[in-house]
Amino acid sequence: MAKTYEIVIDGKTCSAEHGEYLWDVAKRNGIEIPALCRSEAFPEHRASCRVCIVEVVAHGRSKVVTSCVYPIEGECEVHTNSPKIVQ
């Protein structure tokens, strides 16, 4: 059984399994993160559009990641519309 973490996406607490992609966790919880490459029209082109970038804060550090291929490896806070992402 995979380890489960609680992560916070835009203030909403979500359950995520270790290694599960952040974009999939958001989608399952009704949080919309735009992505072109996750369309069924482009099944082999994950992470090619970079539209799904988000800010992840973990262990006191912030980084911008591509959510469609970012695996959850622990508890974190995610911002889909922070000033860093908007910029």
pLDDT tens-place string over residues 20-79: 999 999 999 999 999 887 777 666 766 778 899 999 999 999 999 999 999 999 999 999
pLDDT computed for residue 7 by the predictor? 98
Give me the number of domains the chain comprises.
1
Q: Residue 9 pLDDT more than 70?
A: yes
For the entire predicted model, the pTM comes to 0.89
CA distances from 37 to 3, 5, 26, 34, 46 (A): 28, 26, 16, 9, 5
The domain in which residue 52 lies consists of 4-86
Strand partners, 62: 57
Q: Can you give the CATH number for the domain in which 34 is found? A: 3.10.20.740
